[in-house]
Amino acid sequence: MTANGAFTRPDGGNCPAYFAGPGEGAPALVVLQEWWGLNEQIQGVADRLAGAGYRVLAPDLYRGDVALEVAEAQHRMEMLDFVDAADQDIRGAVAMLRQSSPAVGVMGFCMGGALSMLAAARVPEVDAVSAWYGLPPANALDVERIAAAVQGHFGREDTIVPMERVDALEAALQARGHTCEIHRYQAGHAFGNENGANYEPEAAALAWQRTLDFFLRQLAGGA
Q: What is the mean pLDDT of each run of 10 residues along the chain (223 residues)?
A: 79 96 91 97 97 97 96 96 97 96 97 97 97 92 93 97 96 91 97 97 98 95 63
Of 208, 29, 46, 206, nearest to 128 by C-alpha is 29
Q: Given this model, what pLDDT does residue 100 score?
A: 93
Residue 18 bridge partners (DSSP): 4, 58
**In degrees rounded to 5, what are phi and psi of residue 41?**
-65, -45
Whether 190 contacts 198, CB under 8 Å: yes
CB proximity list for 181: less than 8 A, separation 6 or greater? 150, 151, 152, 210, 214
Identify the pLDDT of residue 50.
96
List CB contacts of 58: < 8 A, sequence separation 6 or more. Answer: 17, 18, 19, 20, 30, 31, 32, 33, 38, 42, 43, 45, 46
- pLDDT for residue 3: 59
Q: What is the dihedral of CA 199, 104, 30, 119, to 10 degrees?
A: -90
Number of Cβ within 10 Å of residue 64's Cβ equals 8
Nearest to 211 by CA among 149, 168, 123, 120: 149
Query: What is the three-class DSSP state of 150?
Result: strand
- For 2-219, which CATH superfamily applies? Alpha/Beta hydrolase fold, catalytic domain (3.40.50.1820)
Domain ranges for the chain: 2-219
The DSSP secondary-structure symbol of 75 reads H
In this prediction, residue 24 carries a pLDDT of 83
- Predicted pLDDT at 1: 40
β partners of residue 107: 31, 130
> Side chain identity at 148, as an amino acid letter?
A
